[in-house]
Amino acid sequence: MAARPQSVPGQAGVKKEEEGPAVAPSLPSLGQEPSNPDSRMAEGQSNVTGPASPVNEEEEGPGSAPEWPPQKMEEFQPLRADPVAVLTEEQELIRKRFSSRIQTFWKFVKTTEREEMAITAIEGMANSDSYNPEACAAMLNSLVQSDIPNLKRVPTIVAYIYRWLKTNTDLSAEHRLDKSLLKLAQAHPNDVVVTLLCCAPSCDRAAVSMWKVMVSSSRTAEVVLSELPCVLEDWPLHSTCTSEGESKEVFALAATRALWEIIRVPLSPQASFVVPCLFVALLVQVFCSTEQMPSKINFFWRRCRQRHHHPANPNRFAVLTVKALLCRLQLEDVVLAVERKKGWDTLLSTDTHRYAVGLLAREMHRVSRPMREGIARYLLTLFTREESHWRVPAMAFLVEILNCLETEKLVDTILQLMTSHLQSDCKEMRHLVLRGLLMLCKNPLKAKRLQGLTKSLMELLKDVDGELVELTLPVLSKVLLDRDVPIATPIALQLGEALLPLFDNDASRVRLLSIHLFGDMIVYVEKEGKRHLKTCVHQSLLPLFYHLHDENQCVAEASLETLLRATKFLKKRRFMQLLEREQPWRFSECLLSESRRTTDEYRRQSLTYLESSQESMRETAIRFIGLAGQHIRGQQEEFQNICDALVGMTNDISPSISTLADQTLHILRTAPRHRLPFRFQLLQDKLRRIWRR
């Protein structure tokens, strides 16, 4: 701040004070009104009785461009309860005299009239009238000391304090109204903050001075800063109402500008309770200002850029403020870690914002426990609001810090929140919730809290979103298996029914996880439920047989393991022996020889595998259908359906598949119609020979 010349004391100076009071000091003793009532208007000053309009705000000119990391950030120092400037002995003597005179004067003034008189006095100071500034300051200080709970025009008072600071040229008098400002901020924080943001949205020198006074006091820092988060995140305008009943619209960016100046000075330790809220609110503003930029806000920001040389886009300035806040908390390592991973740039796109928030959250394991839990608690409040555009990023942050939280009650609250969003219409939200649940599952103590989610998780297995199902399967597996309690029969039946269709899912990971979980279910189901589960397990034999030939080796191995468990469960010893001897085609012949009803069912199931995207599966289907055709030669309609399916496969994109289909079709058509045991064996041998080529 550039130094300004000292003002020359006027006629209402110290000498007038030494004359001594009359019987009862009157208001004119504070100074005389100008002879011309309209003189102020002629000089370009407005006769304001309320907060000044942001449009008329005048700045002292462009400041320096914000640099990263912020330079000249003052070191933290222990603070006095009320850090008001220390007065000289002469100034203190003058202050006491005026204070004594005002106390005497108040005795002759009605309580209801004191506020209006003080406003008139401070208005005179603000408009550079011939009012004695010491007397006016003493009047206001006395008013807020005695009548602070009953004040009805706090916004007007704050507006004139700001106006006076703006026009004041006496540096030694700059802190003359600090005590009054602190008292007002402590008792009426909303009025003070909203009025100051409206009067000085781009935060000029006078506003910076007022913010510094308020946040450097241990008594007012927390209550004042607590008013900023709701303004920061309420993009683009925060609508509120002052105690005077006047509706106000505050620029969200005005709060960001104020915070940028605030965090460059020492903060009271009490302000640490509000820092998590400010951090989250800034992240919300980054997202909102990236998503939309109204013309009104754009115009305001152009003015700020001209005066302060800020970044071209408000969202970049919000990110800059987040960095500065973290550095004020001595978390430079977090800032640099996110920078190395290009997280700050990623934060500036709505498409990648939630990923950047997750990255930032992962780096926040370095912060203190109170900071982490404060962030989590404030994030939870975002979900209680009817309209919140930042719920998905908020969930992304909660998911990443979930395992760092130690307060059980807080973890339980987050778990309840996740449970309520399992059936969300938002795909990204469901994915994040499942990721969070999976992280909880890694901690055995926290995993116990998920036991009541089994039915909700099984419902998700029916979703068409393969990625969602892929996330659900490991969570469900952990919930069901990481305990000593057997799986209940009703749950096993529902689970088996939900898992069978997933064996043929396009995603190999889904196939692998579903087959593994099915095998585990067979082992861990309660004894009383084994009899009820036989039908479901029997239905799994053919799909598992097909996936013995899956192109993904892990899926093929999992299918063999689960098929062995299934045959053991069904007590089919012959089937187990063939699998253990690695004779899968003898296994398929045993399947077809069980009964005519099962043969027909297997044949119908196999037709669907002819359309598989895997060449190995189509090949297996042709072979199996060829064997099935031998069993139904007497059933003309069913036999013709098989032949028609094979004819369609002769035009397969794979030459080997089309050749195999053609050969199998030829053998089936030329074989004898009557299936004598010897000739049936010859037909099987022919089919085996062509399949081995």
pLDDT for 255-286, tens place per residue? 999 999 999 887 777 788 899 999 999 999 99
pLDDT band at 8 (very low <50, low <70, confident <90, very high): very low
Question: How many Å apart are CA 75 and CA 654, to the nearest integer?
Answer: 73
CA distance to 517, 572, 589, 599, per residue, from 579 (Å): 20, 11, 12, 20
Is the pLDDT confidence value at 384 over 80? yes
Residue 38 has a pLDDT of: 37
pLDDT tens digits along 386-396: 777 799 999 99
Over range 515-528, report the average pLDDT.
94
Tell whether omega for the bond before 370 is within 30 degrees of 0, i.e. cis. no
pLDDT at 510: 97
The region of weakest confidence among 2-16, 152-166, 476-490, 531-545 is 2-16
Q: Helix/strand/coil (H, E, C) string of 146-181?
A: HHHHHCCCHHHHHHHHHHHHHHCCCHHHCCCCHHHH
Query: What are the backbone angles phi and psi of residue 47, rounded to the nearest 5°?
Result: -85, 75
CB 286 within 8 A of CB 319: yes
Report which listed range, 97-111, 323-337, 443-457, is most confident. Answer: 323-337
**Cβ atoms within 10 A of the Cβ of 166, count?**
20
Token pair in block for residue 270: 């009490």
| pLDDT score of 406 | 87
What average pLDDT is seen over the chain? 82
What secondary structure, in 3-state letters, does 313-354 show? CHHHHHHHHHHHHHHHCCCHHHHHHHHHCCHHHHCCCCCCHH
> Residue 330: left if φ>0, alpha if ψ -120 to 50, beta else—which one?
left
12, pLDDT greater than 50: no
What pLDDT, on a 0 to 100 scale, did the predictor assign at position 188? Answer: 95
- Rounded to an integer, the average pLDDT of 96-120 is 77
Asked if the model's pLDDT at residue 308 lies above 50, the reply is yes
Report the C-alpha gap between 641 and 618 in whole angstroms.
17
**pLDDT value of residue 195:** 97
Tell me how far apart the alpha carbons of residues 657 and 665 are, in angstroms, rounded to a whole number: 12
Burial of 256 (0-12, 13-18, 19+ CB in 10 A): buried
Q: Which amino acid is at 680?
A: F
Backbone angles phi, psi at 312, to 5 degrees: -65, -35
Task: Report pLDDT for 220.
Answer: 92
Band the pLDDT of 547: cuts 50, 70, 90.
Answer: very high
- First-to-final CA distance of the chain: 90
Q: What pLDDT is attached to residue 34?
A: 35
Task: Assess contact for 325 and 282: CB atoms under 8 A.
Answer: yes
Q: Which of 144, 137, 154, 153 is nearest to 101 (CA)?
A: 137
pLDDT higher at 47 or 112: 112
H/E segment holding residue 22: none
CB 328 within 8 A of CB 322: no
Q: How far is CA 182 from CA 118, 173, 467, 485, in A?
A: 16, 16, 55, 62
Q: What percent of the chain has pLDDT over 70?
A: 81
Q: How confident is the model at residue 512 (pLDDT cuts 50, 70, 90)?
A: very high
pLDDT at 554 over 90: yes
pLDDT of 57 > 60? The answer is no
How confident is the model over 168-221, as pLDDT tens digits?
888 777 888 999 999 999 999 999 999 999 999 999 999 999 999 999 888 899
Helix (H, G, I), strand (E, B) or coil at 203: coil
Residue 27's pLDDT is what? 36
- Using one digit for the tens of pLDDT, what is the confidence trace for 446-467? 777 888 899 999 999 999 999 9
What are all long-range contacts of 442-447, with beta carbons under 8 Å and residues at least 24 apart?
Answer: 442/403, 443/403, 444/482, 446/403, 446/411, 447/478, 447/479, 447/482
pLDDT for res 467: 94
pLDDT at 331: 94
Segment (H or E) for 251:
strand 247-251
Per-residue pLDDT tens over the stretch 562-593 = 999 999 999 998 888 888 888 887 888 888 88
Say yes or no to pLDDT of 642 above 90: no
Of the pLDDT bands very low, low, confident and very high (cuts 50, 70, 90), residue 542 is: very high
